[in-house]
Amino acid sequence: MNETLKTLLEHRTIRQYKPDPVPEDVLNTILEAGIKASTSGNMQVYSIIVTREPARKEVLHKLHFSQQMVLDAPVLLTFCADFNRFNTWCRLRDAKPGYDNFLSFFTAAIDALLAAQNCAVAAEAFGLGICYLGTTTYQAGKLVEFFNLPDGVVPVTTLVLGYPASDPGPTDRLPAEAAVHQETYVPWTEERINKVYAEKENLPGTFKLLEENQLENLAKIFTEKRYTLKDNLYFSEVLLNVLKNQGFMNNP
């Protein structure tokens, strides 16, 4: 099989890293691959902040809910929706930027996320492991402070990169029919839900998780432990405030 497809299809999440540094030329090629990703109107309204200094990783480790891999992995890439450079350019050219609104934030977030996934694929092509940090959106306000991000810049995701210290194998995924709809969206019935979740609900790891958490099914692990309504409401407010404070909500 084509090597690119192999890289994509064999993706696995790495949470344990060797301390070996990522060579400078490897990192630069990974970043170059990110920059080649599609970008809205070729505006490139994103930025990538590289963190390698151990003292700075220690602060990020705390901000990202003390996940050990943030300390262990040699490189963190924080991807930001970023209209600051573009707006600065416009103002210097006597053009009036109109990018202080929600649509512009979302456009910039798309740019940042496509670049992030290209960096992830490039890293894996070099034999590196990767993991995304979902804590980036929860802690967006604190990351704005830490990186001293100006108006028009909001962190949207973080990639942890480094040489794998474990080989966990590919993560399980639902069958394709759980994600793919042909022509029209097919509404979910109990029968189809049971079918697409059957394998996942019967994995040995699932039973272990239920035992550990004393809960009767996997859905409750998500709603009661991992992603609760209370946390989601709190972090929704935090994230919307960050958008407002960074100048992205001047719209009706």
Binders in 134-153 for its own copies, by CB under 8 A = 134, 137-138, 147-150, 153
Among 103, 195, 202, 203, binds its own copies (CB under 8 A): 103
For residue 174, which amino acid is it?
A: L
Distance in Å, CB of 1 to its own copies, minimum: 9
Q: Which of 82, 171, 177 is nearest to 132 (CA)?
A: 171
Residues 6+ positions from 127 with CB-CB distance below 8 Å: 163
Cα 80 to Cα 28: distance, rounded to the nearest angstrom: 18
Residues of this chain, 5-64, that bind its own copies according to CB under 8 A: 5, 7-11, 13, 28-29, 31-38, 40-44, 46-53, 56
| Cβ-contact 50, 77 below 8 angstroms | yes
Among 3, 25, 167, 211, binds its own copies (CB under 8 A): 3
Distance in Å, CB of 163 to its own copies, minimum: 16
Distance in Å, CB of 19 to its own copies, minimum: 19
By C-beta, is 166 or 217 nearer to its own copies?
Answer: 217
Distance in Å, CB of 175 to its own copies, minimum: 9
Distance in Å, CB of 91 to its own copies, minimum: 8
Alpha carbon separation from 32 to 29, 35, 119, 152, 252 (Å, rounded): 5, 5, 8, 23, 37
Among 22, 63, 70, 121, binds its own copies (CB under 8 A): 121
Residues 6+ positions from 205 with CB-CB distance below 8 Å: none
By C-beta, is 20 or 145 nearer to its own copies?
Answer: 145
| Cβ-contact 27, 185 below 8 angstroms | no
Looking at beta carbons, which pairs linking 51-55 to residues 24 or more positions away fall under 8 Å? 51/75, 51/76, 51/77, 51/78, 52/21, 52/76
Name the token pair of 252.
């009706």
Residues of this chain, 164-223, that bind its own copies according to CB under 8 A: 170-174, 176, 178-185, 187-188, 190, 193-194, 196-197, 217-220, 222-223
Among 25, 167, 211, 229, binds its own copies (CB under 8 A): 229
Number of residues that bind its own copies (CB under 8 A): 123
Partners of residue 132 on adjacent β-strands:
159
Which helix (H) or strand (E) segment holds residue 144: the answer is helix 140-147
By C-beta, is 184 or 214 nearer to its own copies?
Answer: 184
By C-beta, is 113 or 165 nearer to its own copies?
Answer: 113
Distance in Å, CB of 13 to its own copies, minimum: 7
Based on the shown chain and the rule CB under 8 A, indicate whether residue 92 belongs to the binding site for its own copies: yes
